[in-house]
C-alpha cells in the first residue's frame, strides 16, 4: 500500500445553526477579526450583519474586507494582507463562496509572510488563524490546503498550496446556503460533483478518501436537482453542504483529475464560471477515462442508484448538466484551434491532470479539445 496524507481544517462543525459558534471560537484566538467576503451577496443576504453581530457580542472587534471578486487576483490578496496588518487583526473570518474562502485563507496563511504573493507562493510557515464559513456547496475550500488565484498580469490561474492555508475551523452551516441563487447553486453543485468523482477515480485515491468521495457523490447526486429547483429546501441544502464538504476532504487527500486540469485555462481564457466548466467537461473526460476507471464507475453507479453501463452514467451526468442550465457550447464560448497552444501546456503541467486515472499526453488532449468544438 502506498502512503496516505490526509488534510483537513483543524476542527469541522457541520449542521444548521453551527455559525452561532463563530463568536466564541474567534474570541479564543484574538480580539479583532477581519471578515473577508465578496462585494455584495453576503451583505445582501443579511449574513454579513449576522456574523458581525456574533463576533461583536463575543467581544471581538470587526474589520471588513468585502473586495473579493470572481476569479480572485493576487492583488486582491495583497490588499487584504495590508488590511489585516493595518487593522492588527488576529484572525480571519472567510465567508462566502469558493473565491472568498480562497482569498481569506491566503490572507491568513500568508499574513505574516514578508514576500509578495505570487502563483509560486508556498504557504509553509504558520500564518494567522482562519475560520471558514462557506455560503455555497461547491469547492470544499473550507477544508483544503489550496487557494486558486489569478495573476492578472499574465492571465495565469493556479493553485497556491501549503499547510498554512488550512483553516483552523470550518463552520459548515447549510442555512448559510439558503440564499444562494439557482445559477450559483447549479455551478457550485456541479463543481462539488466533479470533485467527488475526480477524487474517487484519481490515482491518488486511497482508503480514507475513497469512502468520502463515494458518499459525497451519492449525496450530491441525490440532492442537487432539488436544491436547484427550490433553494429553500433545507434537506437538499444540508445534503449538498455535507456532500461538498466530504468531496473537499477527499480531494485534499486524493487530488483531482483532467477536468480540473482543463478547467483553469478554459475558465480564465473564456471567463466561464469554474463549476459550469467542470460540469460541462465532466462527461467528456469521463468517457476518455473509461478504459482506466470502468470499475470505479460501476461502483459509483451502484452508490448513486443508476442502472446500466458506463454510457448510462455519462448520459445521466449530461442530462443533469442540461437540466441545470449549465451546458456549454465551447466553440460559441470562444474555444478554437489557435488557442490550443495556450491551453495544452498548462493543462499537462497541472497537478490535477497528473492525478488523472488515464495518463494524458499532448495528442490525447488535442483530440479531446477537437471533440469539444466538433
Ligand atoms: Fe473545482
CATH number at residue 100: 3.40.50.1970
pLDDT over 90 (residue 155): no
- How close is the Cα of 70 to the center of ligand 1, in Å? 14
- How close is the Cα of 234 to the center of ligand 1, in Å? 23
Q: Note whether residue 6 is domain-resident.
A: no
Calculate what percentage of the chain has a pLDDT beyond 90.
94
pLDDT at 109: 97
Same domain, 328 and 369: yes
The total of structural domains in the chain comes to: 2
pLDDT at 83: 98
Q: Note whether residue 16 is domain-resident.
A: yes
Same domain, 167 and 21: yes
Q: Note whether residue 292 is domain-resident.
A: yes
Same domain, 195 and 87: no
Lowest mean pLDDT among 82-91, 117-126, 251-260, 292-301: 117-126
192, 216 Cβ separation under 8 angstroms: yes
- How close is the Cα of 285 to the center of ligand 1, in Å? 14
Same domain, 152 and 195: no
- How close is the Cα of 280 to the center of ligand 1, in Å? 12
- How close is the Cα of 85 to the center of ligand 1, in Å? 30
Helices (H), 89-181: 98-109
Q: What is the 3-state secondary structure (H, E, C) of 105-125?
A: HHHHHCCCCCCCCCCCCECCC
pLDDT category of residue 124 using cuts at 50, 70 and 90: confident
pLDDT at 18: 98
- How close is the Cα of 10 to the center of ligand 1, in Å? 22
Same domain, 77 and 158: yes
200, 217 Cβ separation under 8 angstroms: yes
Q: Note whether residue 61 is domain-resident.
A: yes
- How close is the Cα of 193 to the center of ligand 1, in Å? 9
- How close is the Cα of 248 to the center of ligand 1, in Å? 9
How distant, in Å, are the alpha carbons of 18, 192, 359, 372 from that of 291? Answer: 43, 24, 11, 20
pLDDT over 90 (residue 2): no
Q: Note whether residue 3 is domain-resident.
A: no
> 66: domain range?
11-177
As residues whose CB is below 5 A from the ion ligand 1, the structure lists 191
pLDDT over 70 (residue 209): yes
The answer to whether the Cα torsion of 40, 44, 49, 51 is positive or negative is negative
pLDDT digits (tens, 9 = 90+) for 288-340: 999 999 999 999 999 999 999 999 999 999 999 999 999 999 999 999 999 99
pLDDT over 70 (residue 72): yes
163, 125 Cβ separation under 8 angstroms: no
Among 112, 143, 177, the domain-final residue is 177
- How close is the Cα of 249 to the center of ligand 1, in Å? 13
pLDDT at 154: 87
29, 91 Cβ separation under 8 angstroms: yes
Q: Note whether residue 159 is domain-resident.
A: yes
Whole-model pTM above 0.85? yes
Same domain, 212 and 250: yes
Same domain, 192 and 272: yes
Same domain, 24 and 150: yes
Same domain, 160 and 204: no
pLDDT category of residue 197 using cuts at 50, 70 and 90: very high
How distant, in Å, are the alpha carbons of 79, 101, 120, 325 from that of 115? Answer: 14, 21, 11, 43
Same domain, 364 and 247: yes
- How close is the Cα of 113 to the center of ligand 1, in Å? 27
Average pLDDT, the chain: 96
pLDDT at 327: 96
pLDDT at 1: 59
- How close is the Cα of 284 to the center of ligand 1, in Å? 16
Among 156, 177, 198, the domain-final residue is 177
Q: Note whether residue 2 is domain-resident.
A: no
What does the pLDDT average to over 156-169?
A: 92
- How close is the Cα of 33 to the center of ligand 1, in Å? 28
Q: Give the CATH number, domain containing residue 197.
A: 1.20.1090.10
pLDDT at 86: 97
Q: Note whether residue 4 is domain-resident.
A: no
Among 157, 177, 197, the domain-final residue is 177
pLDDT over 90 (residue 126): no
Distance from C-alpha of 39 to C-alpha of 21, rounded to nearest angstrom? 24
pLDDT digits (tens, 9 = 90+) for 45-66: 999 999 999 999 999 999 999 9
Calculate what percentage of the chain has a pLDDT beyond 70.
100
Same domain, 158 and 238: no
pLDDT at 156: 82
Same domain, 243 and 316: yes
- How close is the Cα of 81 to the center of ligand 1, in Å? 25
Amino acid at each position: 500500500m502506498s502512503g496516505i496524507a490526509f488534510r483537513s481544517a483543524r476542527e469541522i462543525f457541520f449542521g444548521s445553526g453551527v455559525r452561532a459558534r463563530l463568536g466564541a471560537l474567534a474570541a479564543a484566538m484574538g480580539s479583532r477579526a477581519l471578515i473577508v467576503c465578496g462585494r455584495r451577496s453576503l451583505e445582501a443576504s443579511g449574513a454579513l450583519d449576522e456574523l458581525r453581530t456574533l463576533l461583536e457580542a463575543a467581544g471581538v472587534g470587526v474589520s471588513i474586507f468585502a473586495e473579493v471578486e470572481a476569479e480572485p487576483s493576487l492583488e486582491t490578496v495583497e490588499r487584504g494582507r495590508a488590511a489585516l496588518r493595518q487593522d492588527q487583526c488576529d484572525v480571519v473570518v472567510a465567508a462566502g463562496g469558493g473565491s472568498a474562502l480562497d482569498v481569506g485563507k491566503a490572507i491568513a496563511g500568508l499574513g505574516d509572510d514578508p514576500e509578495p504573493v505570487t502563483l509560486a507562493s508556498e504557504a509553509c510557515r504558520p500564518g494567522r488563524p482562519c475560520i471558514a464559513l462557506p455560503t455555497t456547496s461547491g469547492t470544499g475550500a473550507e477544508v483544503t490546503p489550496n487557494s486558486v488565484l489569478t495573476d492578472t498580469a499574465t492571465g495565469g490561474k493556479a493553485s497556491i498550496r501549503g499547510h498554512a492555508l488550512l483553516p483552523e475551523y470550518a463552520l459548515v452551516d447549510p442555512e448559510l446556503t439558503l440564499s444562494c441563487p439557482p445559477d450559483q447553486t447549479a455551478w457550485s453543485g456541479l463543481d462539488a460533483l466533479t470533485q467527488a468523482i475526480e477524487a474517487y477515480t484519481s490515482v491518488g485515491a486511497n482508503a480514507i478518501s475513497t469512502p468520502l468521495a463515494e458518499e459525497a457523490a451519492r449525496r450530491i447526486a441525490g440532492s442537487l436537482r432539488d436544491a436547484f429547483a427550490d433553494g429553500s429546501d433545507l434537506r437538499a441544502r444540508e445534503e449538498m453542504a455535507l456532500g461538498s464538504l466530504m468531496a473537499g476532504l477527499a480531494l485534499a487527500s486524493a487530488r483531482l483529475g483532467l477536468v480540473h486540469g482543463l478547467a483553469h485555462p478554459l475558465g480564465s481564457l473564456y471567463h466561464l464560471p469554474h463549476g459550469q466548466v467542470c460540469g460541462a467537461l465532466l462527461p467528456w473526460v469521463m468517457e476518455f477515462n473509461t478504459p482506466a476507471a470502468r470499475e470505479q464507475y460501476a461502483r459509483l453507479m451502484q452508490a448513486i442508484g443508476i442502472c446500466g453501463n458506463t454510457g448510462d452514467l455519462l448520459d445521466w451526468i449530461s442530462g443533469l448538466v442540461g437540466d441545470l442550465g449549465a451546458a456549454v457550447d465551447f466553440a460559441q464560448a470562444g474555444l478554437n484551434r489557435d488557442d490550443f497552444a495556450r491551453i495544452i501546456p498548462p493543462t499537462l503541467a497541472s497537478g490535477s491532470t497528473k492525478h488523472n486515472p488515464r495518463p494524458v499526453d499532448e495528442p490525447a488532449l488535442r483530440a479531446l479539445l477537437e471533440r469539444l468544438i466538433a
